[in-house]
């Protein structure tokens, strides 16, 4: 539970922006995700209550779509593109090397909350394949040997 009342007011504002509509659930979840970088459980429970949508439905939608995360994510979000073009040019090796370097698996966050590693289906930047996006920064033609310098550049 969030202890601070002001956090609930933020959620109320989001609900207000979406006219308290049940059909706007995905849009509401996007806004909460933008705010906290993940979907806190207390926020899901709160919107379930306020919009009168069963929690199972809110959880269903939140876990169905890749854009939503149920666990907090690190300061730097590393997204390894696993689209077909990147896969053909060695994205799997890049991802494995990142897992080794950071000591976490895909979908996890480092214990110091610094990095989260995630694979994405396609960033649509196929000319840069294999491409890794750290925060807002693109790294093109990534390879296992470039990993350390990439991580250094964003720290």
Partner 1 sequence: MLKQIDPNKQRVRICLGTGCRARGSIDVLKAFNCEIEKRNLQIQIECIQTGCHGFCERGPVVVIAPKEFFYQKVKPQDVAEIVSKTILNGEAVSRLLYTDPVTGKKAVYEYEVPFYKKQTRPVLINNGRIDPTNILDYIVIGGYQALAKAITTISCEEIINIIEESGLRGRGGAGFPTGRKWRLCRKARGDVKFVIGNGDEGDPGAFSDRSLMEANPHSILEGMIIGAYAIGANQGYLYLRAEYPLALKQIQTAIDQAREYGFLGKNIFNSGFDFDIKIIRGGGAFICGESSALIASIEGKMGEPRAKYIHTVERGLQNKPTNLNNVKTWANVPLIINNGADWYAKIGTAKSKGTGIFSLVGKVNNTGLIEIPMGTSLKQIVYDIGGGIIGSKRFKAVQTGGPSGGCLPEELLDLPVDFEKLTEAGSMLGSGGIIVMDENTCMVDVARYFLDFLQNESCGKCVPCREGIKRMLEIVTNITLGKGKEEDLELLQELAETVKDFSLCGLGQTAPNTVLSTLRYFRDEYDAHVKDKKCPAGICKNLIEYLILDGKCTGCGVCLKLCPQKAIQGEPKKIHQIDSSKCTRCGICRDACPFEAIMIKSDVN
Other Cβ atoms closer than 10 A to 109 = 22
Query: Contacting partner 1 (CB under 8 A), which of 103, 107, 121, 153?
Result: 121
Residue 38 touching partner 1 (CB under 8 A): no
Helix, strand, coil distribution of the chain in percent, nearest 5: 50, 10, 35
Which of these segments, 3-11, 24-32, 38-46, 105-113, binds partner 1 (CB under 8 A)? Answer: 24-32
Alpha-carbon gap, residue 44 to 62, rounded angstroms: 9
The site map against partner 1 for 96-115 (x = CB under 8 A) is: xx--x---------------
Which of these segments, 5-13, 40-48, 70-78, 140-148, binds partner 1 (CB under 8 A)? Answer: 140-148
Q: Is the peptide bond before 133 cis (omega within 30 degrees of 0)?
A: no
Alpha-carbon gap, residue 55 to 70, rounded angstroms: 14
Please report, in angstroms and rounded to a whole number, the separation of the first and last CA atoms in the chain: 31
Element spanning 91, H or E: helix 91-102
Task: Give min distance, CB of 136 to partner 1, in A.
Answer: 10
Residue 35 touching partner 1 (CB under 8 A): no
Give the nearer residue to partner 1 in terms of CB position, either 3 or 127: 127
Residues that bind partner 1 (CB under 8 A): 21-27, 29-30, 57, 60-61, 64-68, 82-85, 87-90, 93, 96-97, 100, 120-129, 131, 138, 140, 143-145
């Amino acid at each position: 539970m969030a202890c601070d009342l002001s956090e609930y007011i933020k959620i109320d504002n989001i609900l207000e922006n979406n006219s308290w509509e049940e059909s706007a659930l995905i849009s509401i979840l996007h806004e909460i995700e933008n705010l906290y970088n993940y979907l806190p459980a207390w926020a899901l429970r709160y919107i379930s209550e306020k919009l009168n949508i069963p929690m199972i439905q809110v959880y269903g939608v939140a876990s169905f779509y890749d854009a939503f995360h149920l666990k907090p994510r690190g300061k730097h979000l590393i997204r390894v593109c696993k689209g077909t073009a990147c896969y053909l040019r060695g994205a799997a090796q890049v991802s494995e090397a990142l897992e080794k370097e950071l000591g976490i698996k895909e979908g996890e966050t480092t214990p110091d909350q610094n990095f989260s590693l995630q694979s994405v289906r396609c960033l649509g930047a196929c000319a840069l394949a294999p491409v890794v996006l750290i925060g807002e920064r693109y790294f093109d033609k990534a390879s296992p040997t470039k990993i350390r310098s990439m991580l250094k550049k964003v720290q």
